[in-house]
Structure 1
Amino acid sequence: DCVSLSARFVLPVKISVEPGGIVVVVVAVVVLIVVDVVTVTVGPGVVVTVRVVVLVVTVVLIVMVLVVLVLVIVFVVLVDVVAEEVVVVVVVGMSTTRSWTWTEPLVQ
């Protein structure tokens, strides 16, 4: 049976105005991608048909994080409010659709 599943990941990231926030975001993205690839690879009898999407999502995620970081800095400067950290929830996987080919029927 061919079953198409879509995965959604909610990744809470703490972005601080200080440069340390960038490191946290980069580490979080790297960990997410590594775990994703390892999970897909370890799975038995799994044929991955969509592999480039992970890289695309990573690039989009980095761009989104940079835009959010710039907006936060501009907001802090304009409103003149000293914010130590801003919690941003990034939803990954809205456009991530993976296809698995199972060698045995799924048990629901």
Structure 2
Amino acid sequence: MVGLDPDPYPFWHSSQVAAPGLNLAQFQNREADQLLVEARQMFDESARLEKYANWQNILRQESPATFLYSINYSYAQNYSVKGFSRSIMGQPAERFWSADGWYRRTTRSRASK
């Protein structure tokens, strides 16, 4: 399973072709491998995302696999819950990322003097 900050290395790097690797498509491309290695070593999110975008372009051009399914998570929320924000989720547990900001009731209180 890949989260919001994905690391596609185990699934797409050439070193993962042989067992017990997860590169089931047997995809091998030196430029793509280099981008995956560089992205893994970056702390700057925008630079890492740029590497992943370049890697995705190679993947799109090479078409080593056909992606048939993408999970769509839907969750219900009661209107009495405030502070809830919708966002893209990569995994079911991510629906709780903003739970620290949820609340139910608010009451007006007088400021103490």
Query: What TM-score do the two structures reach when normalised by structure 1?
Result: 0.28
Structure showing greater relative contact order (alpha-carbon pairs closer than 8 Å, 6 or more residues apart): 1
Structure with greater helix percent: 1
Which is greater in Rg? 2
Structure with greater strand percent: 1
